[in-house]
Amino acid sequence: MTPPALAYFRYGLKLRGPEGGNARSARRVLEGFLIRVAGGYGSVMPWPELGDAPLQDQWQAFRSGGSTPLLERARACAAADAAARRDGRSLLHQAPVPLSHATATGTADFGALRAEGFTAAKLKGGPDWRAALGQMRQAVAAGLRVRVDFNGLLQEETFLAFARAAEDIKEWVDFVEDPLPYEPARWEWLRQQTGWRLALDRLAGPERGGFDVRVLKPALESAGRRPGPVVFTSYLDHPLGQAFAAWEAARYGDGQELGGLLTHRLFLPDAFSERLARRGPAWRGPGGTGLGFDDLLEALPWVPLAGTSPAAAGRLWQNPRAPLPEGGPPLAPGQIGFATSGSTGKPSVVVHTDASLDASADSVNAWLQARAEDVWLRALPEFHVGGFQIERRAARVGSRVAAEEGKWDPARLLHRARAEGATLLSLVPTQLADLLQLGAAAPESLRAVVVGGGALDEAAAAAARRLGWPILGSYGSSEAASQVATAALASSQGPAPLELLPPWEARVQPDSADPPLPDGLGLLELRGPALATGRYLWTGGTWLFQPLADPDGWWRSSDQVTLAGRTLRFAHRADRAVKVRGELVNLDALEQQLAALGLAAGRFALVARPHPRLGAELVLLAEPAAGPAAPALARLAAVAPPFASVHRAQEVPALPRSPLGKIQYSALAALLRDSIP
């Protein structure tokens, strides 16, 4: 069977130590994807911290036939690889790949590196140049030359202070890479003042001198020919990307200094990295045709993109850790899809347009009185509509966004908010609870903190306000492009009702609940210009599109609310879906999964109860006939995302049932209160 011409495979590389890959990143798992194009292979692994488009944008560009610098280089890699594979030849056999420096971590054993044959070490620098200087002295004491990369994090005065303090080991230093953001005149002045060699890695504009060495990353740019010395490095890429960088270095020829082509040593080993050199500064290729790894690449579970073209696809945003079946639905031009956050139910994608997203952004901007001087701090992932819309709101008024990427860290967020002078912030209740654990006062610059994605615990909100956090509760949904109702801006110092934002019309409709719902409580229906056009549902074999609104433009949600004029109060979900850590979890679907994992169907039930940090805590109530709960829950924990974890389990004599034996979920809350304090 002929493999598809276009396909991809997503991967993650885990760093060995506790630190991130560079001074601008705290990520310990670096994610990317391999591409297969006409029988050749390439790698795309972005660094948004350094200016690359995020992973999801890179993947969308590949899926839709678009372009990014990383993707263009991956396609060039795949083209060269494919040609060599067709001829049955290796690109790296006996290739004159230059020797490499040792890329060192904070726990490096420099004596051991010298014993392996390395003659130089590259170190990671940051704003605290003294820490880097301490490591440099250790490396020099072991007999190694050193290089240090500051990722543009120093200023003129701090670089000058560093240069003065390191004067005694200057003869051992090959160069200082990116000491501060590249400005040719400033760099030239620093060279003249200090006499230090400077190396330029990444730049936003043209090269205009001021440096001694050009650092080249084939993953980002074509090498061409340079007038001065160059250093080839691998961009901490997948081993396939490392092989591409090594090939580019080999064919460049003279004019190179020691390279940085052995960065696989920084990661936990896998089948690919085990094919590369494990000791010493010399490159050892993986063998095989093209760039190698023949059998490993062929064995990967490639996802095909047959028939995809720029005219055949819209834009899709999804959690890279929970890829959709078949790569997602076939979005048409102009459609912007967001995978809904609940990954335990059937996959679905809410479909918006630029018009609906702009309408939502404008309404939120007006409500928050957003202006060009504001600074949004984005702590929500961009693949969620709430995070995505922050960028759009800022663009509509010309304000700035500071994105807090990587694993959630409340202390880092607090530091970033102060450093950036953030004025607007959006959080889910779990994030607010984590910030409260710090007990820290709010940055003075903040004027509004919108909390959504789950019910806001008023006790937590009150505690936050006592610390100066200007909390505004909100209600929204993916279908509505984020916020529908939000507390008034003037109410950030105390509890206040949620008010519908101006574009929205709302009404409540009675549910078919038995017994009847209290007066005024019903299913929320919405109509407005920010409403999605529809959703794609995964049927198990294909994606089925369903329009969202009825012929009159109304969409019925699954949320029970009360509505008094334009004041809205959220009660609960009607479809047994709850928000945990800001993510939607479908309890019915989770019960089906537990039954498939060993519990007797119909003999147990899941119930959610409010939790101040998680938003909701999931509890398993099981009859004795359900079987042992622990093994099933352990198996669930191994396959389900963290937010779908069952937090507690309790055996009960019997579940409440109707005369026909159906579990009465409406009575589970009372049973829960009786069973677990």
pLDDT tens readout for residues 348-367: 899 999 899 999 999 999 99
122 bridge partner residues: 103, 147
172-199 residue pLDDT tens: 999 999 999 888 999 999 999 999 999 9
pLDDT at 657 over 80: no
pLDDT recorded at residue 559: 83
Instruction: Check which CATH number belongs to the domain holding 498 and give it.
Output: 3.40.50.12780
In this structure, the answer to whether residues 514 and 625 fall within a common structural domain is no
The neighbouring-strand residues paired with 522 are: 561
Query: What would the 3-class secondary structure string for 184-247 be?
Result: HHHHHHHHHHHCCCEEECCCCCCCCCCCCEEEECCCCCCCCCCCCCEEEECCCCCHHHHHHHHH
Residue 230: count other Cβ atoms within 10 Å of its Cβ: 21
- Check pLDDT > 90 for residue 116: yes
Buried b (16+ CB within 10 A) or exposed e, 388-423: bbbebbbeebebebbbbeeeeebeebbebbeebbbb
One-letter identity of residue 448: A
Report if residue 330 sits inside a domain.
no
The tokens for 496 are: 């206040």
Do residues 564 and 627 both lie within one domain? Answer: no
Cβ 234 vs Cβ 273: under 8 Å: no
Query: According to the model, what pLDDT value does residue 113 have?
Result: 94
CB 300 within 8 A of CB 3: no
Q: Is the pLDDT of residue 676 over 70?
A: no
662, with CB counted inside 10 A (0-12, 13-18, 19+), is exposed
Helix axis angle for 156-165 and 129-141, nearest 10°, is 30
16 and 43: one domain? Answer: yes
Average pLDDT along the chain: 84
- Rounded Cα distance, 479 and 556, in Å: 10
Say yes or no: 216 and 298 in one domain. yes
DSSP symbol at 602: T
Q: Note the pLDDT of residue 261.
A: 93
User: What single DSSP character describes residue 345?
Assistant: S
| Any domain includes 165 | yes
Q: What are phi and psi of 200, to 5 degrees?
A: -105, 125
Residues 402 and 282 in one domain: no
Residue 315 lies in a domain: no
- Residue identified by tokens 């060009």 is 372
User: Does the residue 78 lie in any domain?
Assistant: yes
- Map residue 178 onto helix, strand or coil: coil
By DSSP bridging, strand 198-200 and strand 173-177 are parallel
> Looking at the 3D structure of the chain, how many domains does it have?
3
615 in the Ramachandran plot: left (φ > 0), alpha (ψ -120 to 50) or beta?
left
CA 59 to centroid of chain Cα atoms: 13
Is the Cα dihedral 627, 631, 637, 643 positive or negative? positive
How far apart CA 96 and CA 501 sit, in angstroms, is: 65
On the question of pLDDT at 500 being above 90, the answer is: yes
Question: Per-residue pLDDT averaged across 70-89, rounded?
Answer: 91
How far, in Å, CA of 54 to CA of 356, rounded? Answer: 23
The whole-number average pLDDT for the span 581-586 is 76
Indicate whether 384 and 396 sit together in one domain. Answer: yes
Q: Are residues 561 and 651 in the same domain?
A: no
Length of the chain: 677
Average pLDDT score over residue span 492-508: 88
pLDDT for res 303: 76
Which pLDDT does position 343 carry in this prediction?
36
Amino acid letter, residue 443: P
Confidence bin at 648 (pLDDT 50/70/90): confident
Residue 16 sits in the same domain as residue 71: yes
Angle at 487 between CA 522 and CA 561, to 5 degrees: 5
Domain presence at residue 366: yes
Whether residue 125 sits in one domain with residue 258: yes
Residue 51 confidence (pLDDT) = 82
What integer pLDDT is reported at residue 223 of this predicted model? 76
Q: Both 53 and 200 in a single domain?
A: yes
For residues 90 and 127, what is the distance between their CA atoms, to the nearest angstrom? 43
Residue at which a domain ends, from 288, 305, 322: 305
Amino acid at 410: P
- Report whether pLDDT(87) > 60: yes
Q: For the ranges 176-185, 246-255, 612-621, which has the lowest average pLDDT?
A: 612-621
d(CA 550, CA 12): 43
Higher pLDDT, 127 or 584: 127
- Residue 345 is predicted with a pLDDT of 53
Contact 60, 8 (CB under 8 A): no
Q: Is the pLDDT of residue 309 over 50?
A: no
CA 32 – CA 11 distance, rounded (Å): 6
Q: Phi-psi bin for 188: left (phi > 0), alpha (psi -120 to 50), beta?
A: alpha
Q: At 464, which helix (H) or strand (E)?
A: helix 458-466
Q: What is the pLDDT of residue 259?
A: 93
The rounded distance, in Å, linking the Cα atoms of 362 and 352 is 15
Domain end, chosen from 513, 539, 573, is at 573
Average pLDDT on 630-647 reads 84
Residue 311 lies in a domain: no
Cα separation, 26 vs 160, whole angstroms? 27
Spatial separation of the C-alpha atoms in residues 213 and 227, rounded to whole Å? 10
Classified as helix, coil or strand, 358 is: helix
Concatenated DSSP letters for 32-44? EEEEEETTEEEEE
Residue 494 shares a structural domain with residue 583: no
How many Å from the N-terminal Cα to the C-terminal Cα in the chain?
Answer: 60
Joined together, the tokens standing for residue 420 give: 């950036």
- Predicted pLDDT of residue 414: 92
185 exposure class (CB count in 10 Å sphere: 0-12, 13-18, 19+): exposed
B/e letters for 10-42, b = 16+ CB within 10 Å, e = fewer, are bbebebeeebbbbbbbbbbebebbbbbbebbbb
pLDDT for residue 645 = 82
CATH number at residue 165: 3.20.20.120
Task: CATH number of the domain at 581, please.
Answer: 3.30.300.30
Cβ-based neighbours of 2, under 8 Å, separated by 6 or more: none
pLDDT at 18: 61
On whether both 561 and 582 belong to a single domain, the answer is: no
> Over 80: is that where the pLDDT of 65 sits?
no
Q: Give a yes or no: residue 549 inside a domain.
A: no
Look up the domain containing 585 and give its range: 577-675
* Residue 348 is assigned to a structural domain of this protein: no
Summarised one tens digit per residue, pLDDT across range 442-468 is: 999 999 999 987 777 778 888 999 999
Consecutive H or E run containing 424: strand 424-427
pLDDT at position 383: 82
Contact between 416 and 377 (Cβ < 8 Å): yes
For 35, residues 6+ apart whose C-beta sits below 8 A from its C-beta are 6, 7, 8, 41, 42, 43, 44, 62, 71, 74, 75, 78
Q: Record the pTM.
A: 0.49
User: What is the model's pLDDT at position 575?
Assistant: 62
Q: Is residue 13 predicted with pLDDT exceeding 90?
A: no
